[in-house]
Structure formats: structure tokens, C-alpha cells
Structure 1
Amino acid sequence: MTSISVPRKVFQGVAKRADMFRILDRHARRPDRFAGALSAIYAGEWFETDETSYTYMLDILPPLWMLAPIFTMREFMTGSVTSVFYAIRIDDAVRYFHTYCDLSDPNSVEAMRSAILDRETRPVRAMSREERLEHIWSTTAEDYRGYAGPRWPKPMQGHRTVMLYGGKEGTLLKLLCTLTDDEIAAKLPVHLRHLPTVLAA
């Protein structure tokens, strides 16, 4: 489970349109999807996309509001949380980002923009453990990820699970948050496996 709505990068690299739509609702199969407020699950998630996807989303519906290169979608994901798209100049290049912001907080859109700038302008390319886990969740096919059900101990129920290949032992289901470093590396694409673990300050 995601517990608090702090800014968190959920995909490494640039998500093209097909990737973007898959990532937009990474929590579609949550067992409690319609059971209450899920704002904290979505609010704070962000990832980079491309100009084509940014323009496509701008053209789907008139935005709820638009301020220069930032616009918000008219349709809300849950409660007061909706998609916000940014075009941000970083190192002399315009880059495009999608976030979920809780518009009940008037500072959320600017806070997310600041968080993205802070993360993407750090001098060392790195990934935190949390970013590695979120990337794994975003890129694992629906058939190989899910949520711990009633067969799991009560404290674990509802937490995210992923399927792992266990060699001679076959496949096994494990809580996402309990993956070891080796298991994380095995689930990541090769170009992300050996990045520094600690983000530069």
C-alpha cells in the first residue's frame, strides 16, 4: 500500500503514450478501489512523458484550467485528485511530466513542480529503493502483480505483491516492499540495475 501522498517518481525514463495510459491507473485492481477515499494513493505520483502525449492529453478535453505550460484534466481520478501536465525547461531542454495533484491543497501544483525540478536537476543519476520498487510496479504486467488477499496474514492483506521467478523452485509471490536487492535487480531492466542507490542531495 502507498500510505502518504508525498511526491514520488513511479517510472524511470520517458513514458510514451502506451506506457502513459498503463501507468495512469497503476492501482486499477486494488481490492478497496471503490471502498473509500483513495486520494493519498494517487496524489504525489509523477513520471516523465513526451511532447506527443502531452499534446494529445491537452486536446482530449478542454482543461479544467491552464496556466502557461501547465494544465489540469477536467476529469478527476478520485476525490479532488486529478492529472496535471507540465512542460518544464531543464538544462536548456523542455521536458514533459504527468502528476496527480490533490487540488484541495492550493499549493499542490507548484509543490509538485518544485519536487520534479529538484529530482531531475540533481547532478548524479540515481534511484532510491522506493523508486526502484515503484518502477517495478509500473512495468510489471497485470497478470504478475496484485494484492495480498485473505490467504495472507491479516497485517499483510491489501499490500502489493509481485510474481518472481524462483529458478528450480518455480514462481513465487512476494510482497513488493519485501524484495531483496538481488530480487529488485532481477526485476529491473539492465540499464537501471547498476545506478547508484542513494540520491545525491
Structure 2
Amino acid sequence: MTDHPAFRKVHDGIASREQMFQLFDRHRDTPGIDPLSGTPYAGEWFEITASTYHFMLGLLPPLFMRTGMFGMSEYKAGYVTSVFFAIRIRTRERWFHGFCDLSDKRSPDAMRAAIIAHETGAADSMTREEKLEAIWNATHPDFKGIAGNVDPDAWPAEHQGKRTILVNAGAQGTVLKLLENLSDKEIDELLSVSLPLRNSRRGGDDADRS
């Protein structure tokens, strides 16, 4: 599996549109690296304004688009492209830009989860709802689904339409559970593999801020 740089915040506060474009080229003159590879940018993220988010959405046809997220069709370099996020954190809508390496198809969801973890003080201070949302967004589509979509008879009527996720149940093997019914232990285990460790990022955060 390819190793990707840790997700890291590179700008304090909310970047203006001008600051955003400056951050897009922040490695242009950095000695000893090849900015054309895209690697120096991969994993970097920062907060933007709502107007900038919508401006970029209308600039080019998106490479992909889904609720609260879209990717730019113009790559930065290699497989690295800009992904823009609209995320509700602590009941407030906020907007972010990140560089994702799409050679890892889970990168946008993993970055979204990392942003939530960083902006809420990491997993130890996240609410249960935020933890479940982070787990859902970082889980590969093959391991999650909607109750009743495939086999309506497999779920009671009151659970149909709810989100489901595969979990390791030990001796029982892998089982399908409602996301909302995950135990605290299961949540902790899934977060440990879904979210980058914040402590490993702190040095990089401080060093990379502009």
C-alpha cells in the first residue's frame, strides 16, 4: 500500500481567495523538492470562505461531486488535485480546501474525517455523533450501506433506510450493524484506523503554517 503524507493544516484562520491562490503555489520555490510531482502538496488543507467554495465550484466542471464535497478536474500534479469540503462542525457550516492524492480513492473521505478531528480537538473531544460521522465518511463503500436497500426482509421496517457498517465481532467474524448501534469499543477501534493520529501531526502543523 502506498504511504501518503499525513494530513496537515497549513494556514491559521480562514484564507481569503487571494491567500488560497498563494497557498496553491506555496512550494514553488521550496529547495530540494519537485513541486511537479504533487507530493509536497498532498495532505495539506486549510479553511476558506463560503464565497470561495462556491466560486471554485462554478469555475470548472467538477471531477467528482457528492454531498458536501467536490474535486477539481484540473489536477495540481500527478494524481493530486484540489478537493473542497462543506462540513458542519459544532452546528456551524464551514468550508475547507485540501490537496488529495487520488491514487488512494479513500483520500477525500479520510481528509474530511481528519479535518473534523482536528477542528474538534481530536477524537477524545468529539461527540458520539461526530465520531459516527467521521467513521462513516472514512469507510470504504464496500463496507457500508443502507439497511433494506439489498434485502428489505433482512431489517425491521423501523430500521430500513438507516446506515449500516461492517464490524469485526471477534469469534462471530464480520457482522453488519446499524451505524447508530456501534458500541463505544467499536467506535474507538474504528476511529483508530479511520483517523490520522493528531499527535503525529502537531509538529508538522506548526512547521507548515504560513
TM-score bracket for this pair, using the shorter chain length? 0.5 to 0.7
Note closer, same or farther for the CA distance 1:51–1:30 as it changes in structure 2 (3 Å cut): same
Cα drift, residue 40 of structure 1: 2.5
Partner of 1:102: 101
Partner of 1:7: 7
Structure 2 matches for 1:145-160, cutoff 5 A? Answer: none
Partner of 1:64: 63
Structure 2 matches for 1:9-158, cutoff 5 A? Answer: 9-31=9-31, 38-122=37-121, 128-135=202-209, 138=210
Distance 1:44 1:75 in 2: 17
TM-score, normalising length: structure 1:
0.60
Cα deviations across residues 130-167 of structure 1 (Å, max 9, x unaligned)?
322211xx2xxxxxxxxxxxxxxxxxxxxxxxxxxxxx
Distance 1:82 1:106 in 2: 12
Cα deviations across residues 102-132 of structure 1 (Å, max 9, x unaligned)?
1110110110011000000115xxx934322
**Pairwise CA RMSD:** 2.3
Give 1:132's aligned amino acid.
D
Cα drift, residue 37 of structure 1: 6.2
Give 1:67's aligned amino acid.
R
Distance 1:114 1:87 in 2: 12
Partner of 2:182: none
Note closer, same or farther for the CA distance 1:106–1:4 as it changes in structure 2 (3 Å cut): closer
Distance 2:42 2:105 in 1: 13
Structure 2 matches for 1:181-196, cutoff 5 A? Answer: none
Cα deviations across residues 56-94 of structure 1 (Å, max 9, x unaligned)?
111111111101120000111110000000000001111
Cα pair 2:27 2:35 within 8 Å, conserved? no
TM-score, normalising length: structure 2:
0.57
Kindly tell me the number of residue pairs found equivalent between the two proteins. 131
Distance 1:99 1:118 in 2: 15
Q: Which SS does the other structure have where 1:77 is aligned?
A: coil
Distance 2:110 2:204 in 1: 20
Note closer, same or farther for the CA distance 1:105–1:4 as it changes in structure 2 (3 Å cut): closer
Cα pair 2:83 2:97 within 8 Å, conserved? yes
Give 1:50's aligned amino acid.
T
More strand per residue? 1
Q: Which runs of 4+ in 1 moved over 3 A?
A: 30-33
Distance 1:44 1:36 in 2: 14
Structure 2 gaps, min length 5: 126-200
Bigger radius of gyration, 1 or 2?
Answer: 2
Note closer, same or farther for the CA distance 1:59–1:102 as it changes in structure 2 (3 Å cut): same
Note closer, same or farther for the CA distance 1:61–1:111 as it changes in structure 2 (3 Å cut): same
Note closer, same or farther for the CA distance 1:18–1:36 as it changes in structure 2 (3 Å cut): closer
Cα pair 2:86 2:94 within 8 Å, conserved? yes
Cα pair 1:4 1:41 within 8 Å, conserved? no
